[in-house]
Structure 1
Amino acid sequence: MLPVLNVGPLAVQVPGLILLVGIWIGLNRIEAFARRQGMEVERISTLIFYALLAGILGARLGYIAQNVAAFRQQPFDAFSLSPQMLDLPSGLAAMVLTGLIYGQRKGLDLWRTLDALTPGLAVVMMAVALMNLASGDGFGLPAHLFWSIYLFGEWRHPTQIYDFALALLIWRVIDSKADDLTLPGGTRFLTFVALSAIARILVDAFRVENVVSGLGGVRITQVIALLILLASVQMIRMRRSTQV
């Protein structure tokens, strides 16, 4: 766990730095994929810029809305660079809404655009896993295994490393057919969603958080991931059937 790296007088937030590097690499992967698919790289890049900007603003505003009393006392904290002061659902909602509006106005094909974004999303998933490892978030259940990590006073499942390994595998699967132009639009994106849902079901079995009472220890995220998996598999079938 390395939440802060002191470089001379500077205290660098390692999780935030990892996320920024992941986004930068992800953007490069998206542009490379879009170029190979013969898509308009400039429009894809502009869409990403607006979506990211809206996502960051939405995540911060969502966090402020949930902690109004604290920000009344310290209003300038709203401009903090801390990644912990972001509300993920609000950010995702703002990002998706902005992306849809821009894509519709510019006439971008929805499924092809989602496919182009998929390699970058896969890279960002790896970055999020490393970010959690640096911050200590998403930690696992106590376990005495030879690969366990010592965190918060106990030996635990290294769930962040599990996440990274599965995210790397998903990226390899997605990137392996980057030049294949015969796949129906949306197949790459939906495959990424399905594989990510499987990863969530597997890894969350070893997490401490989000236990659903009365369901034998099944996590809330596992239930949601299962529904997403079933929906994405059905949509893949529908996309393939429409091309036949």
Structure 2
Amino acid sequence: MITATAQPLNPIAFELGPLTVHWYGLIIGIGAVLGYLLAQSEAKKRGLPEDTLADLLLFALPLAILGARLYYVIFSWENYADQPVRALYIWEGGLAIHGGLIASAITAIVFARKKGLSFWKIADITAPSILLGQAVGRWGNFINQEAYGGEVSRGFLESLFLPEFIIEQMFINGAYHHPTFLYESLWNLAGVALLLYLRKVNMRQGELFITYMIWYSFGRFFIEGLRTDSLMLFDVIQVAQLISLVAIAGGIALLVYRRKTGMSNRRYLDAEPQKTTVKKSKS
């Protein structure tokens, strides 16, 4: 039975004088920190220079947020046309992860070339961390009551053995909704566990990241189908579903191409080739 007493959680975490800290930004920040710590630990084992990931994060994080916001605003411009300044209000929600991933990938490619490092090595090291950050970040959507699915009964939510605070937060616009943010968060956490296991299997270089692409996109395609607040392309197809299909096809094509061309002959756990110095003999 639907009650009228469900009250949404306060989106503001705390205030320090004129500074207002929103849960949305705070949770995304926590996800980024956890992802960085996980990646940094692995980077040391794989022999990356100590400050590599910190330097990359310095560029990638703000550009990822910018890309995620720009992507969202472009595909939902009707919400900002009358007040374009609201496009800057990221604390209200509206960061499209695909936009952030595209911006991050471009940043990482340029960064790796400038530093003379392998993009695929960096991508493999950071793949579980990216997915961990996404899993945590979805809880920012939960606080803002976005990224939810179609209407369901309270009984359905209770059958999932969800805690009361999640059930109450899924009461939106007079009805209960699928907690699709939670479905994706759990899918992503399962993906993190898979990728951490595959590290030990010693996959070919680049294939950890490609597995991430396929895993995330596969789950996102089906979860997106449950959502009612998705970005649409020409009112015909959900943008995230289209991008997911492209990512799956692209990931499979990359796997085949890199194996056929020998680009993936190195293994993830292979040691870096040591540079040898030739000593000149005295004459």
Same fold (TM over 0.5): yes
Aligned to 2:107: 98
Contact 1:51–1:95 (Cα < 8 Å) also in 2: yes
Aligned to 2:220: 200
Q: Is 1:141 paired with 2:150? A: yes
Question: In the aligned structure 1, how far is the partner of 2:70 from the partner of 2:218?
Answer: 31
Match of 2:117 among 105, 108, 120: 108
Question: In the aligned structure 2, how far is the partner of 1:62 from the partner of 1:140?
Answer: 21
Q: Is 1:226 paired with 2:252? A: no
Aligned to 1:41: 50
Runs of 5+ in structure 1 lacking a partner? none
CA separation of 1:129 and 1:53: change in aligned 2, threshold 3 A: closer
Question: In the aligned structure 2, how far is the partner of 1:8 from the partner of 1:89?
Answer: 33
Match of 1:4 among 12, 21, 40: 12
Residue type of the alignment partner of 2:206: G
Residue type of the alignment partner of 2:12: V
Contact 1:193–1:232 (Cα < 8 Å) also in 2: yes
Deviates more, 1:8-17 or 1:150-159: 8-17
Cα offset for 1:58?
5.8
Cα offset for 1:161?
0.9
Question: In the aligned structure 1, how far is the partner of 2:72 from the partner of 2:178?
Answer: 30
Residue type of the alignment partner of 2:218: I
Contact 2:69–2:90 (Cα < 8 Å) also in 1: no
CA separation of 1:96 and 1:86: change in aligned 2, threshold 3 A: same
Q: Which has the larger radius of gyration?
A: 2
Cα offset for 1:101?
2.1
Q: Is 1:188 paired with 2:208? A: yes
Deviates more, 1:128-137 or 1:32-41: 32-41
Higher helix share: 1
Contact 1:25–1:120 (Cα < 8 Å) also in 2: yes
Aligned-pair identity in percent equals 21
Residue type of the alignment partner of 2:61: L
Aligned to 1:157: 178
Cα offset for 1:191?
0.3
CA separation of 1:162 and 1:96: change in aligned 2, threshold 3 A: same
CA separation of 1:214 and 1:117: change in aligned 2, threshold 3 A: closer
SS in 2 for 1:12: strand
Cα offset for 1:173?
0.4
TM-score when normalising by structure 2: 0.70
Q: Is 1:51 paired with 2:60? A: yes
Question: In the aligned structure 2, how far is the partner of 1:49 from the partner of 1:111?
Answer: 19
Task: Output one character per residue of 1:132-154: Cα deviation in whole Å (capped at 9) or x when no partner.
Answer: 11111111100121346422210
Cα offset for 1:85?
7.4
Paired positions, count:
237
Cα offset for 1:232?
0.7
Cα offset for 1:37?
2.0
CA separation of 1:116 and 1:156: change in aligned 2, threshold 3 A: same
Contact 2:93–2:144 (Cα < 8 Å) also in 1: no
CA RMSD of aligned residues (A): 3.5
Deviates more, 1:62-71 or 1:136-145: 62-71
Cα offset for 1:83?
6.2
Aligned to 1:122: 131
SS in 2 for 1:41: coil
